[in-house]
Amino acid sequence: MTEHVVAHAGDVAAVERLVSTTVQHFGRLDVLHNNAAIMDPKHIAQDTNPVDIEFDVWDRTFAVNVRGYLAGCKYAIPHMLEAGGGAIVMTISGSAKLGDLGAIAYAASKGAITTFVKSVATIYGKQGIRCNGINPGLIRTEGGRRNVHGAMVDIQLRNTLTPRLGESEDIAAAVAYLASDDAAFVTGAILDVDGGMLCHMPYMTDVMAEYGTTMGFGESREEAAV
């Protein structure tokens, strides 16, 4: 496509235009990737805890991160049904899975999408539409770099099992797979693309600091040496 369409995900009419322009251009719609989320550091800084957060910050978060995804589905699915099927991929987040020290609205919005993915997969499965989600870990996108910096980068890396943090290409490859016919039998799934960040015991980094890469249970190295 030589042109692109700009649409604010919080504006449902704009999302409708985005879908209809795409269909006009290509004649059909096979894939929807719901990916936009508010990553503006000023907004994220105001997304704190249930006591301090302003209702407006909560509402704006949900307008983009949740209602925007609904709008994508609302306007794209009829075209997919017309085409005999399609694939929907939604970017979620590891924040949907575990509690954290802030970003209460962001986490709740991503939690909502986790269930939304499964509902869409269930409602439209028999009509040939698959719907899957991706939970990225820390990805060094523009938004990822703007919001996670300083000591937080090292903390995230220490808690990631791979030797490096994620890049946009890691997510793009997962989206391409889930959107393709290679994933024809995969629907309602949430794929962690996070370098193993959320698959290990929470005390892993403490254990490594104490014992290196060996397990701290049983005879510790110190006790064995006595």
Ligand X SMILES: NC(=O)c1ccc[n+]([C@@H]2O[C@H](COP(=O)([O-])OP(=O)(O)OC[C@H]3O[C@@H](n4cnc5c(N)ncnc54)[C@H](O)[C@@H]3O)[C@@H](O)[C@H]2O)c1
Least spacing, CB of residue 55 vs ligand X, in Å = 19
- Catalytic option among 75, 106, 124, 211: 106
Residues 125 to 154 in contact with ligand X, rule: CB under 6 A: 136, 138-139, 141-144
User: Does 208 participate in binding ligand X (rule CB under 6 A)?
Assistant: no
Closest residue by beta carbon to ligand X:
143
Q: How far is the CB of 12 from ligand X (least distance, A)?
A: 11
Name the minimum Å distance from CB 25 to ligand X: 19
| Selected binder of ligand X within 18, 76, 88, 91 (CB under 6 A) | 91
| Paired sense of beta strands 86-91 and 129-136, if any | parallel
Size of the site for ligand X (CB under 6 A): 18
Q: Does 35 bind ligand X (CB under 6 A)?
A: yes
Cα–Cα distance list, 68 to 36, 91, 122, 217 (Å): 8, 12, 20, 47
Residue among 22, 61, 93, 132 that touches ligand X (CB under 6 A): 93
- Residues 51 and 97 sit within 8 Å (Cβ to Cβ): no
Q: How far is the C-alpha of 201 from the C-alpha of 159, rounded, in Å?
A: 10
Q: Is 211 a catalytic residue?
A: no
Q: Annotate 87-145 with DSSP letters as a single string.
A: EEEEE--GGGTS--SS-HHHHHHHHHHHHHHHHHHHHHGGGTEEEEEEEE-SB-SHHHH
Contact 39/143 with Cβ under 8 angstroms? yes
CB of 169 to ligand X, least distance (A): 12
Cβ nearer to ligand X, comparing 36 with 83: 36
CB of 220 to ligand X, least distance (A): 36
Q: What angle do helix axes 12-26 and 68-83 make, rounded to 10 degrees? A: 30
64 binds ligand X (CB under 6 A): yes
| Cβ neighbourhood burial of 220 (10 Å; 0-12, 13-18, 19+) | middle
37 binds ligand X (CB under 6 A): yes
**CA–CA dist 119, 188 (Å, integer):** 8
Report if residue 36 touches ligand X, rule: CB under 6 A.
Answer: yes
Catalytically active residues, by annotation? 106
Binding site for ligand X (CB under 6 A): 8-10, 35-39, 64, 91, 93, 136, 138-139, 141-144
